[in-house]
Amino acid sequence: MNIILASASPRRRELLEQIGLPFSVRPSAGEPEAAGLAPEAAVCSVALAKAENVAADASPEDLILAADTLVYLDGDPLGKPTGRDEAAAMLRRLSGREHEVYTGVALMGGGRKLVRCEKTVVRFRPLTEDMIRRYVDTGEPMDKAGAYGIQGIGCLLVESIHGDYNNVVGLPLGLLNSMLESFGVHIL
């Protein structure tokens, strides 16, 4: 069985390499949207759409893995910032507060579909305007949901985390492992 990661995310690739899972990469074309849905439903819907997109051109023996991660604050999704000003505005909103990170994970193969969601709560330290400016100057926030990367220098913004750290990076490995096992793929 060939596992195909339907994502161009370097963080997801690194996480899969970390656990020794053999896979190939075939990013999904386009970015599906799920506006108006609850957080769990939104990330699961997008993850499934990505998996279906790649599965359309895959072999029936392939196992397609797709994921979607979003940051939510006060029920509002915080996607990837479009520029420096938006990144700074997101970080101001997150400063000193808790927010939720949701990742929807979809597996498709052998005529089966399995979609699950993981939620992690992250609390930011209070941030000064100077800290926000310096962090935005690193460029790290620009391609990350919520305008921060917990696996990089953005870890300095985080006061606490309740849940799966890897979920905040972009792929909840514990959840993925149990999903893979239901498809007969055993990492351990």
* Residues assigned a catalytic role: 68
Rounded-to-integer distance, Cα 137 and Cα 178, Å:
39
Residue 4 near residue 52 (C-beta atoms within 8 A) = no
Tokens of 92: 């101001």
Rounded-to-integer distance, Cα 105 and Cα 49, Å:
11
Report helix angle 129-138 to 84-94, nearest 10: 130
Strands 98-109 and 158-162: unpaired
H/E segment holding residue 77: strand 76-78
Helices (H), 65-148: 84-94, 129-138
H/E segment holding residue 100: strand 98-109
Rounded-to-integer distance, Cα 11 and Cα 16, Å:
9
